[in-house]
Chain A
Amino acid sequence: MFGVGVLSEFESKQLLARHGVAVSRDKLAHSADEAVAAAVEIGGPVAVKLCGSSLAHKSERGLVRLGLDNSASVRTAADELLAAAVEDDGEVALLVSEMVAGCREFIAGVVHTEQFGPALMLGLGGVLAEAVGEAVFRLLPVSEADCKDMIEDLDIPALMAPLRGEPAVDQGALVDSLLGLAHAGGGEGVEAVDVNPLVIRDGLPVAVDALVVTTGS
């Protein structure tokens, strides 16, 4: 695994955004004061997460605080999260993100497979993604038609239609996200990309959490 690295959530999302993937509005903060200021700037309820390149399983470790809607709660969360960091976490910061509301969560990513090289994935996301195991793959490079096929292959039409007061999924936007992910994941120095969840807000996909694994080269 020599030379393999992990980008922090903030860096991962920046990389994806450069490839055309819509990501949540995020600000990096290094203190509780900065976190409060960031929350005010973003507006509305926010999430605060501990952010660093050695923090792949944030939710398992309770390093994510959601729906914080006042400065006091942001400050408390920021203090607690900074205190929860351990030595192995390396350099850490606070990521303040807008809350992205949507009942539909997908998972998407790129992985290098042993037999067929890099492949793009789309699946049902959220914390149960692996347990549910609804996911489809295509080998890179992928075309627009391949991405449309992936959405169809996922074979849950009710999930794409208007749902619980939310509009239908904008499939063109989802295809664009997939193409962007494929572009990012197939790029030089990138070993794998993981977006989970990719939340559908007002019909449009937004990457709420992301992880980019680099080859280190």
Chain B
Amino acid sequence: MSRPPLDLLFDPQGIVVAGASTHPGKFGFVALHNVLAGGFDGPVFATNPDQPSILGVEALESVADIPEGAADLVFVCTPPHTCSEILRSAASRGVGAVFIASGGFREAGSEGARAERELVQLARSLGMVVAGPNGQGLISNPAKLAAQIVAPIPPPGPIAVASQSGNLVSAFMNYAAQSGVGISRAVSAGNAAMLGVVDYLGWFASDPHTKAMAAYVEGVEDGPAFAAAIKRVAAAKPVVLVKGGTTPRGAQAAASHTGALATDDRIFDGMVRQSGAVRAQTIEEAYDAVAAFATQPLPAGPRTLVLSSAGGWGVIAADALSKSKLELIPLPADLKEAIDGLVPPRWSRSNPIDLAGGESRDTIPEVIDLVADHPEVDAVIYLGMGIQANTASHLRSGPYFEAAELARICEYHERQDSRFAQAAADASARTGKPILAATELGITQPDNAGPATLAAQGSYCFPSADRAVRALHHMWWYARWRKRLLG
């Protein structure tokens, strides 16, 4: 009869903002504003005993006044002492899920901790699920739901996020808004009184809108259970973990050397490796990795080829590859021969392939196809996209655009970079191999035809060669773990 509790949280039929406010500086205003601005499909209710309406929504006296069965989720912005009454009223109207944004619980001391425990007991007895408290909210783009007290509302996409820090949820969503590789669901676990990060990941694992997930964790209460849960989730979809608050202290300062070496960080690292997640050191690295997982096929092996029309970046990619478990393969002889037939002899004739400016109109798409199709290549890093369109941008804004009749060449440059990006995306789709395109222009000039064409396809433009290599390394690591797991 009843839907799974996290379904109610992420795909509610209707939502109530409890403690909505007319004061734009208060969470109760921001929460209602965001729900409305996000364009939530279902009915939206608000409670405030002192106001007739807020942002055009009729303000009800209490949660008890919503029609029976009209809402599945209550988003609570009122102080801790009001929460148990809200839970009871909500339960009486058929609400099954509550997100408590309010603080003042465990993080505020022993009295708050007691209130939090009592709230969890009450929720259990009422058959409800409580997210938070002290959380910043959740995003559920398939439901057009932005039940949160922070920004931004990210574009929809294949990435799910769960975090013990609300601000880091925002950080992931900011990267998503900037890169265009968007978010399916995102949730700030807050104090995680009843629902922890792994509970959310478990739900994302079977969410059809999610292809890959990222999580930020600090404390882990039940380590073995955490490890087992991550392993189950990773068997379904890629998980990128960032661990905050690791201490350099060993587990035992006593007689054993092993104990002295057993730092939180090393133990967590080993757990991650066994459970099939990948671990990123920073949020930036985590976003690169999860975006790669969400938009590229997994590599079948470590054999990597670098294709560059920007010499130095090729060298940096090669350096990064040599420090990873990926293989910068020697350029296969038949590829060398094929490329010899396309460009003048000054090209690098090795991996990285640096065409050294010898390319003509169709060379790049042809070489992309050649390398992607080659049976000894598992993955491609493509560098130098966007250079022509950058020149076009410069010419367009310069003093001679009209006088020198530069429109035609600018359009050609832009068309070329758009073709190159398209060729990379098409070759990846055709061969089932990852082709990671990287250029800083994705950030410095996002409307550049190269990055813009990638973004329009939902692809991720890696901000640098080294970041692309690191993301590919995470992909290979996960692919290898899957191979071993599935045999």
Spell out A's residues near B (CB within 8 Å): 6, 56-57, 107-117, 119, 121, 123, 129-130, 133, 135-139, 142, 145-146, 149-150, 152-153, 192-194, 196, 211, 213
Are B261 and A130 neighbours in the complex by a CB distance under 8 Å?
yes
Partner of A121, one of B227, B254, B262: B262
Interface string of B207-251 (1 = CB under 8 A from A): 000000000000010011001000000000000000000000001
Q: Does B127 contact A (CB under 8 A)?
A: no
Interface of B is mostly: helix
Partner of A138, one of B252, B254, B261, B273: B273
Spell out B's residues near A (CB within 8 Å): 220, 223-224, 227, 251-252, 254-262, 264, 266-271, 273-274, 325, 484
Are B259 and A117 neighbours in the complex by a CB distance under 8 Å?
no
Given the contacts A116-B227, A119-B267, A146-B274, A135 and B261 also touching, CB distance less than 8 Å: yes
Most chain B CB within a 10 A radius of its CB, from A150, A192, A213:
A192
Query: When chains A and B are docked, how far (Å) is the Cα of A57 from the Cα of B257?
Result: 11
Query: When chains A and B are docked, how far (Å) is the Cα of A62 from the Cα of B133?
Result: 57
Query: When chains A and B are docked, how far (Å) is the Cα of A150 from the Cα of B271?
Result: 12
Query: When chains A and B are docked, how far (Å) is the Cα of A6 from the Cα of B254?
Result: 12
Task: Give the A-B contact count at a CB cut-off of 8 A.
Answer: 93
Are A111 and B256 neighbours in the complex by a CB distance under 8 Å?
yes
Are B258 and A139 neighbours in the complex by a CB distance under 8 Å?
no
Are B270 and A138 neighbours in the complex by a CB distance under 8 Å?
yes
Residues in A with CB closer than 8 Å to B325 are 152
Are B273 and A149 neighbours in the complex by a CB distance under 8 Å?
yes
Given contacts A136-B269, A137-B262, list 11 more A-B pairs with CB under 8 A.
Answer: A57-B255, A107-B261, A109-B256, A109-B258, A114-B251, A116-B271, A119-B262, A137-B267, A139-B274, A150-B270, A213-B254
Are B258 and A193 neighbours in the complex by a CB distance under 8 Å?
yes
Are A129 and B257 neighbours in the complex by a CB distance under 8 Å?
yes
Are B256 and A211 neighbours in the complex by a CB distance under 8 Å?
yes
Are B255 and A6 neighbours in the complex by a CB distance under 8 Å?
yes
Are B256 and A213 neighbours in the complex by a CB distance under 8 Å?
yes
* A57 to chain B: closest residue by CB: B255
Are B270 and A137 neighbours in the complex by a CB distance under 8 Å?
yes
Are A192 and B227 neighbours in the complex by a CB distance under 8 Å?
no
Are B274 and A113 neighbours in the complex by a CB distance under 8 Å?
no
Are A129 and B270 neighbours in the complex by a CB distance under 8 Å?
no
